[in-house]
Amino acid sequence: MFRWYTAKLKARPLLTQSVTTAVLFATGDVTAQQLVEKKGLKRHDLTRTGRMALYGGCVFGPIATTWFGFLSRRVRLGNPHLQTLARVGCDQTLFAPVMIGAFLSSMATMEGASPKERLDKAWWPALKANWMVWPFVQFINFTFMPLHHRLLFANIIAIGWNSYLSWVNSR
């Protein structure tokens, strides 16, 4: 299966990573609804899961794929440890705040709610929670993962993170 996935990544990297991201964002939402909120199958909100998949596949997947490539090409230092720290720093000070805002705004818009109210309520708590998890994850990601597997690694870890975001967004 991993060979098949790697072959798809080489043939159509953006499409493969976007579809993977959609599936794993949906998985995060299902996890939130079933394991955290304990909704059960009858009360499961399929529309909410669909919104998560749509955002993951059409917004986050393509942007994160491009972002990881940008960091790999543009953040290059002579010392590999400093290079990794610089990439994590860029990721956490530029990418994370913007993408958390994009997520919350997109979800509010798709739900017919106010993006401003959602951002005012949830952006800062979500960003602080992000900083408790993602610097460490991205340090490992940028140190050990080849570029073409970085989004997959982040997405696997993000099943739990997306469960959290889905839960925060739905409150």
Q: How far apart are CA 40 and CA 63, in angstroms?
A: 33
The confidence score (pLDDT) of residue 4 equals 94
* pLDDT, tens digit (0-9, with 9 covering 90-100), for 93-122: 999 999 999 999 999 999 999 999 999 999
| CA separation for the pair 61, 142 (Å, rounded) | 17
Give me the helix-helix angle, 147-170 and 115-144, nearest 10°: 150
- What's the average model confidence in pLDDT over 42-59? 97
Question: What was the pLDDT predicted at 169?
Answer: 79
Share of the chain above pLDDT 90, in %: 88
* Alpha-carbon Rg for the chain in angstroms: 16
pTM over 0.85: yes
Range of the domain at 124: 1-170
Assigned token pair, 41: 């199958």
Token pair, residue 117, equals: 């109210």
Distance, CA of 128 to CA of 159 (rounded, Å)? 18
Burial of residue 81, with CB atoms counted within 10 A of its CB: 0-12 exposed, 13-18 middle, 19 or more buried: exposed
How many domains does the chain fold into?
1
| Residue scoring higher pLDDT (160 or 106) | 106
**Single-letter code of the amino acid located at 59:** V
Taking phi first (over 0 means left), then psi (-120 to 50 degrees means alpha), and beta for anything else, what does residue 157 get?
alpha
**pLDDT of the residue at 167:** 80
pLDDT at 168: 80
Q: Would you call 49 helix, strand, or coil by DSSP?
A: helix
Q: What is the pLDDT of residue 164?
A: 84
pLDDT at 171: 76
pLDDT tens digits for range 59-87: 999 999 999 999 999 999 999 999 999 99
CA gap 167, 37 in Å, rounded: 8
